[in-house]
């Protein structure tokens, strides 16, 4: 697949005047059109959501005004006071939760399991894939903040396109996460022996999370176009590799390659429960499991094995966020 950057480079390098308009290959034209359509749709969706929100707010305001108009002055004062009280309680609760989250994340920075998201793959992704990765990172950060036992999250190789997009996220500057422009091998060179690159292609199966080890996840959305890439990278760097023990608990219908946010969420759930089965079942959508379990049930009846197998279909999206592998 030809990345959009290449399409743009082709355009830039072409003679661009009226007599010689830039010549694009058919493939590049298709890519450009697809990208333009994606951007246009995104803008349309954003505008529609904004309009819907505005309509809802107006409707709520109208209903409130109507209610006030229909009651006595005394009732009006009471209602306004109770609304103010509710708002104050809500704000207090939110502020307490924020403080607790800051405490948890501060502790995680000192003693939490180190988890790295390796962001050195920008050049191998299309803008849509980079966008999807940014969404996944946002999701990872949110889940980590809510976790009772958060990990100590790192973003290494955080520079270029991906950093620019992350910087656009509201509040990114204040995120309690390590942002490191250097690669993990440079940033953590004194701990190289403790680095473990997680990859579905590894031979070693992870059975525990060791607090001394630092687990690396490839920040890549590629629909497995770059098969075996992270395994090769780790091997070239002399770093250990390991895969999640999915096969011990679930029977996947195709590959066991998960999205970045799924892997982070599974690790966090495991830190909390110390139970892989619970962690996998918590993260892999129930809808998928049910479909799959039914299929396996039928199959077992046919072959008479009666073995209780759980089958899980590889996800291209999560229930919450439509996030891609
Ligand atoms: C969408 S996958 C990227 C697949 C990519 N082709 C590769 O070579 O890793 C994103 C990352 O999640 C992690 N990952 C996904 N499935 C995994 C599994 N079954 N076991 C361990 N890590 C996994 C890996 O770190 C992987 O790089």
The pLDDT of residue 288: 55
- Using the mean position of ligand 1's atoms as its centre, give its distance from the Cα of residue 100 in Å: 32
| Cβ atoms of 272 and 144 closer than 8 Å | no
Measured between alpha carbons, how far is 109 from 179 in angstroms, rounded to an integer? 13
Total-model pTM: 0.75
Nearest to 253 by CA among 313, 315, 317, 316: 313
- Using the mean position of ligand 1's atoms as its centre, give its distance from the Cα of residue 271 in Å: 19
- Using the mean position of ligand 1's atoms as its centre, give its distance from the Cα of residue 308 in Å: 27
| Cβ atoms of 261 and 140 closer than 8 Å | yes
The pLDDT of residue 153: 98
Domains detected in the chain: 4-67 (no CATH), 112-312 (3.40.1280.30)
For each of the chain's 325 residues, which pLDDT tens digit applies? 444 444 444 444 444 444 555 678 888 888 888 888 988 998 999 999 999 999 999 999 999 999 999 999 999 999 999 999 999 999 999 999 999 999 999 999 999 999 999 999 999 999 999 999 999 999 999 999 999 999 999 999 999 999 999 999 999 999 999 999 999 999 999 999 999 999 999 999 999 999 999 999 999 999 889 999 999 999 999 999 999 999 888 877 667 899 999 999 999 999 999 999 999 999 977 655 544 444 434 333 333 333 332 333 333 333 333 456 7
Q: For residue 132, how many other CB atoms are within 10 A of its CB?
A: 21
Nearest alpha carbon, ligand 1 atom 1: 325
The pLDDT of residue 99: 97
227 lines ligand 1 (CB under 6 A): yes
**Probe residue for ligand 1, chosen from 133, 154, 156, 199 as the CB with the greatest number of ligand atoms within 8 Å:** 199
The residues carrying an active-site annotation are 222
**Four-residue CA torsion sign, 213, 190, 240, 135:** positive
**Probe residue for ligand 1, chosen from 257, 266, 280, 315 as the CB with the greatest number of ligand atoms within 8 Å:** 257
The pLDDT of residue 21: 56
- Which atom in ligand 1 lies closest to the alpha carbon of residue 226? 6
The pLDDT of residue 20: 59
Q: Report residue 312: phi and psi, to 5°.
A: -135, 135
Nearest to 116 by CA among 56, 61, 182, 173: 182
The pLDDT of residue 250: 85
Q: Report residue 50: phi and psi, to 5°.
A: -65, -45
Nearest alpha carbon, ligand 1 atom 4: 224
Alpha-helical runs (H) found in the chain: 4-13, 26-69, 73-111, 127-146, 160-167, 184-187, 229-237, 260-273, 276-283, 286-303
- Using the mean position of ligand 1's atoms as its centre, give its distance from the Cα of residue 221 in Å: 9
Nearest alpha carbon, ligand 1 atom 18: 200
**Residues paired with 251 in a beta bridge:** 311
Helix H or strand E encompassing 242: strand 240-242
Nearest alpha carbon, ligand 1 atom 22: 199
Residue 308: C-alpha distances to residues 92, 113, 239, 293 (Å)? 48, 33, 37, 9
Nearest alpha carbon, ligand 1 atom 12: 260
Measured between alpha carbons, how far is 252 from 64 in angstroms, rounded to an integer? 52
The pLDDT of residue 223: 86
The pLDDT of residue 292: 42
Residue 129: C-alpha distances to residues 114, 136, 139, 161 (Å)? 25, 10, 15, 12
């Amino acid at each position: 697949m030809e990345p959009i950057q290449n399409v743009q480079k082709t355009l830039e390098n072409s003679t661009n005047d009226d007599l010689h308009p830039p010549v694009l290959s058919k493939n590049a034209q298709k890519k450009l059109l697809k990208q333009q359509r994606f951007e246009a749709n995104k803008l349309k969706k954003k505008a529609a959501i904004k309009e819907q929100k505005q309509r809802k707010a107006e409707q709520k305001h109208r209903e409130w005004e109507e209610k006030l108009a229909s009651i006595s002055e005394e009732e009006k004062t009471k209602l306004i006071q109770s609304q103010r009280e509710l708002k104050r309680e809500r704000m207090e609760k939110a502020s307490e939760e924020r403080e607790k989250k800051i405490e948890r994340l501060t502790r995680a920075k000192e003693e939490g399991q180190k988890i790295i998201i390796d962001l050195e793959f920008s050049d191998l992704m299309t803008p849509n894939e980079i966008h999807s990765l940014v969404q996944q990172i946002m999701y990872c950060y949110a889940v980590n903040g809510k976790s009772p036992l958060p990990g100590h999250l790192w973003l290494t190789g955080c520079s270029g396109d991906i950093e620019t997009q992350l910087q656009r996220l509201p509040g990114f500057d204040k995120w309690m996460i390590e942002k490191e422009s250097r690669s993990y091998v440079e940033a953590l060179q004194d701990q190289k022996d403790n680095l473990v690159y997680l990859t579905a292609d590894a031979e070693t199966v992870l059975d525990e999370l060791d607090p001394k080890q630092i687990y690396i996840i490839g920040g890549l959305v590629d629909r497995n176009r770059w098969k075996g890439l992270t395994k090769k990278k780790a091997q070239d760097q002399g770093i250990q590799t390991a895969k999640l023990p999915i096969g011990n608990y679930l029977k996947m219908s195709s590959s066991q390659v998960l999205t970045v946010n799924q892997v982070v969420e599974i690790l966090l759930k495991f830190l909390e429960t110390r139970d892989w089965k619970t962690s996998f079942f918590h993260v892999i959508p129930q809808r998928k499991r049910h479909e799959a379990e039914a299929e396996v049930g039928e199959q077992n009846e046919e072959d008479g094995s009666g073995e209780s197998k759980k089958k899980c279909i590889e996800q291209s999206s999560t229930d919450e966020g439509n996030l891609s592998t």
